[in-house]
Chain A
Amino acid sequence: MNLFALIFAYLKARPLNTLLNILLLSLGIAMITILLLFSNQLQQKISDNTKGIDLVVGAKGSPLQLILCNVFHIDFPTGNIKLQEADRLAKHRLVKNTIPMALGDSYQNYRLVGTTRAYADLYKAELETGTWWQHDMEVTIGATVARLLNLKLGDTFASAHGLSEAGHAHEEHPFVVKGILKPTFSVLDNLILTNVSSIWLVHEHSEDEHEIVKPDSLSASVLVPTAYASDSTRELTALLLKYRNPIAAIQLPRYINSQTNMQAASPSFEAARLFSILGVGIDALTGFAYVLIFISALSIFIALYNSLKERKYDLAIMRSMGASRSKLLWATQLEGVVLTFCGSVLGVALGHLVLYLFTMLVAESQTAGVNAFVFYVEELYLLVGSVVLGIVCSLIPSWQAYRTDIHKVLAGN
């Protein structure tokens, strides 16, 4: 016999009560675990995806939309900006480098991005097979796109207008897969990359109606070398740019927003704003989880308190057999701690399991890059906290155990 055998025997003697207490606590802990995993990973994803992008410049509209569209690729473009204007900005002395973004088409819900190699380099993308896109209508696709759409090198497909399958298909201009990227665990995995002029080409028919403007000068565009710098018909969706120096962070956004027809948005600022909006929901859920934990603590306290009353003879007889007051105190404390510890271990496991099932069932969570098998140090705090909770719930019951008057109990009055 030892203390643990005794405690497990006591817990086993009231299986439903024990189960209820452990389950109640584990639900609260599981909820906190899920929120923790979700918000931590989301924050991590956001900072990973915005790395290397100081500013996004696009058409005027919602700055948050601009970021969601051009950095996270989960919203629609705010509109287009003129290549001419973008080119001018790219040559600005405060701009270190720029990446053009031409959006508008997708294939099976996966977005086509007309851009340059610099965009892939932003996420340190490497080729799994094949080559990078070189000519018009050639694409290099992200790892998730390749896997879920089962695309292989040499496959061709027609893109659709917009970001849904129902969009108008551009069947007269098929794309050909030239390369597949290794997983980068960033938004890049869900994109189909090509050059800017391919996107223009697909939409050419609408621009045929326009009068082709003879360019004034024949110098090539900085952003899209195949186009003329002065070509006023060419448009981009956005520019991702990097500051040359810290002064740019102060001057550039103000300059763009006030002096041009474009707007500038900072991904880190907008992401923080987005997160503070989400944070309200996360806080509410966390609050609810703490209410659950409080109720479970109360339930454990009541269970221990009641069982201590039933066990007063047990306690007295144990004292008569040589158990000290403090031994009974520890036994009761330990019983509470065993309950809360089991509850929190189960809760953490449950949290990971639920998130795992969620990632299996909801495809969007995979593209959002939520992984159920990442562990954070906060989960360790949860376990430690649950031990403290166990001690707190069993304070009064263990004090009762400590104070058992053996003579009175055993004399039967």
Chain B
Amino acid sequence: MFTFVELFEMIRTRSLSYTYNSEKEIAFGDLNIAGGDQFLLLGESGSGKTTLLHLLGGLLKNQQGTIEVNGTSLTNLSESELDRFRGKHYGFIFQRNHLLAALSVEQNLLMAPYLAGLSQDKSRVEEVLMQLGIADQKRKRIQELSLGQAQRVAIARAVLNKPSVILADEPTSALDDRSCDRVSELLVSVAQQNQATLIIATHDQRLKNRIHNLIQL
């Protein structure tokens, strides 16, 4: 019974804390997040949302305590192992979409498998673009996209490698109510379609309507 629970536990942290500039320490409560779960990481600015999200995503190191993702302890990974682990297991979405402006939509998406060292499957690109309703934008340059389209491309890039965990940092805070609603719906449905655990760090209370699991900082 115990092993059964272990297998399905996607993210598990124990006595996690992070010290800023060797003075300000933020401690986080232990997390146990099952595979496929969707969580909101709520808190005001400066409460450590982004720090926790980056720690969970392996973007930030040197924490105290342990983080296990999909059975792997991030603390034990070397820098380059962590890079590879990120590429294979995570999808990241940020407040700004951070697409590579020099590349086309398709090239941006293909960067995900390329950098993760996976095979570049163009039909997977088609599939994801279709799921997000922007299949016709494939050849376009990033500058030619509207803000909403660009955000969808960023989401598409995050889910392309079928990650086990999707981490989103304030994906909706700059959006109006309608767009917020649409993006959150997209995130939830695309995470479900790809069987990924979704954690959204935000101070945007509007998302509570859609995701009910909360981690309050």
> A residues engaging B (CB < 8 A)?
1-2, 5-6, 9-10, 12-13, 313-314, 316-327, 406-407, 410-412
Beyond A1-B103, A410-B59: 10 further Cβ-contacts under 8 Å?
Answer: A13-B102, A313-B98, A317-B98, A318-B111, A320-B57, A321-B157, A322-B115, A324-B83, A324-B84, A410-B92
Contact A321 B115 (CB under 8 A): yes
User: Please, which residues of chain B bring their CB within 8 A of the CB of A6?
Assistant: 100, 102-103, 111
Contact A9 B103 (CB under 8 A): yes
Complex CA distance for A327 and B92, rounded to whole angstroms: 19
Which residue of chain A has its CB nearest to the CB of B61?
A: A407
User: Please, which residues of chain B bring their CB within 8 A of the CB of A316?
Assistant: 98
Give me the 8 closest cross-chain CB pairs, A-B, nearest first: A322-B87, A13-B102, A322-B116, A407-B60, A1-B114, A1-B110, A9-B102, A321-B115
Which residue of chain A has its CB nearest to the CB of B169?
A: A410
Residue A322 contacts which of B60, B84, B95, B110 (CB distance < 8 angstroms)? Answer: B84
User: Please, which residues of chain A bring their CB within 8 A of the CB of B103?
Assistant: 1, 6, 9
Asked if B145 is at the interface of the complex by the 8 Å CB criterion, the answer is no
Which residue of chain A has its CB nearest to the CB of B117?
A: A322
User: Please, which residues of chain B bring their CB within 8 A of the CB of A313?
Assistant: 96, 98
Complex A-B: 29 CB contacts under 8 Å: A1-B111, A2-B114, A6-B100, A6-B102, A9-B100, A9-B102, A10-B102, A12-B102, A13-B101, A313-B96, A314-B98, A314-B100, A317-B100, A318-B100, A318-B111, A320-B57, A321-B86, A321-B87, A321-B92, A321-B115, A321-B116, A322-B84, A322-B86, A322-B115, A322-B116, A324-B83, A406-B59, A407-B59, A411-B54
Asked if B152 is at the interface of the complex by the 8 Å CB criterion, the answer is no
Asked if B75 is at the interface of the complex by the 8 Å CB criterion, the answer is no
Contact A319 B83 (CB under 8 A): yes
Which residue of chain B has its CB nearest to the CB of A307?
A: B102
Complex CA distance for A252 and B203, rounded to whole angstroms: 102
Asked if B79 is at the interface of the complex by the 8 Å CB criterion, the answer is yes
Asked if B120 is at the interface of the complex by the 8 Å CB criterion, the answer is yes
Contact A9 B107 (CB under 8 A): yes
Asked if B88 is at the interface of the complex by the 8 Å CB criterion, the answer is yes
Contact A407 B120 (CB under 8 A): no
User: Please, which residues of chain B bring their CB within 8 A of the CB of A318?
Assistant: 100, 111, 115
User: Please, which residues of chain A bring their CB within 8 A of the CB of B41?
Assistant: none
Asked if B112 is at the interface of the complex by the 8 Å CB criterion, the answer is yes
Complex CA distance for A412 and B45, rounded to whole angstroms: 12
User: Please, which residues of chain B bring their CB within 8 A of the CB of A325?
Assistant: 79-80, 83
User: Please, which residues of chain A bring their CB within 8 A of the CB of B87?
Assistant: 321-323
Which residue of chain A has its CB nearest to the CB of B154?
A: A317
A231 → chain B closest CB, angstroms: 86
User: Please, which residues of chain B bring their CB within 8 A of the CB of A319?
Assistant: 59, 83, 86
Contact B120 A323 (CB under 8 A): no
Complex CA distance for A313 and B154, rounded to whole angstroms: 13
A16 → chain B closest CB, angstroms: 15
Interface string of B53-96 (1 = CB under 8 A from A): 01001011000000000000000000110011011101010111
Which residue of chain A has its CB nearest to the CB of B85?
A: A322
User: Please, which residues of chain A bring their CB within 8 A of the CB of B94?
Assistant: 317, 410
Asked if B50 is at the interface of the complex by the 8 Å CB criterion, the answer is yes
A302 → chain B closest CB, angstroms: 19
A319 → chain B closest CB, angstroms: 7
User: Please, which residues of chain A bring their CB within 8 A of the CB of B57?
Assistant: 320
Contact A5 B107 (CB under 8 A): yes
Complex CA distance for A324 and B84, rounded to whole angstroms: 8
Contact A321 B112 (CB under 8 A): yes
Complex CA distance for A12 and B103, rounded to whole angstroms: 10
User: Please, which residues of chain A bring their CB within 8 A of the CB of B84?
Assistant: 322, 324
Contact B100 A323 (CB under 8 A): no
Contact B88 A322 (CB under 8 A): yes
Complex CA distance for A2 and B57, rounded to whole angstroms: 25
User: Please, which residues of chain A bring their CB within 8 A of the CB of B120?
Assistant: 1
User: Please, which residues of chain B bring their CB within 8 A of the CB of A314?
Assistant: 98, 100
User: Please, which residues of chain B bring their CB within 8 A of the CB of A9?
Assistant: 100, 102-103, 107
Complex CA distance for A318 and B86, rounded to whole angstroms: 11
Contact B79 A410 (CB under 8 A): no
User: Please, which residues of chain B bring their CB within 8 A of the CB of A324?
Assistant: 79-80, 83-84
Contact B88 A320 (CB under 8 A): no
Contact A320 B100 (CB under 8 A): no
Which residue of chain B has its CB nearest to the CB of A3?
A: B114
Complex CA distance for A320 and B90, rounded to whole angstroms: 8
A330 → chain B closest CB, angstroms: 13
Which residue of chain A has its CB nearest to the CB of B58?
A: A320
B96 → chain A closest CB, angstroms: 8
Which residue of chain B has its CB nearest to the CB of A326?
A: B80
Contact B54 A323 (CB under 8 A): no
**Among A12, A317, A327, A411, residue most surrounded by chain B Cβ atoms (within 10 Å):** A317
Which residue of chain B has its CB nearest to the CB of A407?
A: B60
Complex CA distance for A12 and B96, rounded to whole angstroms: 24
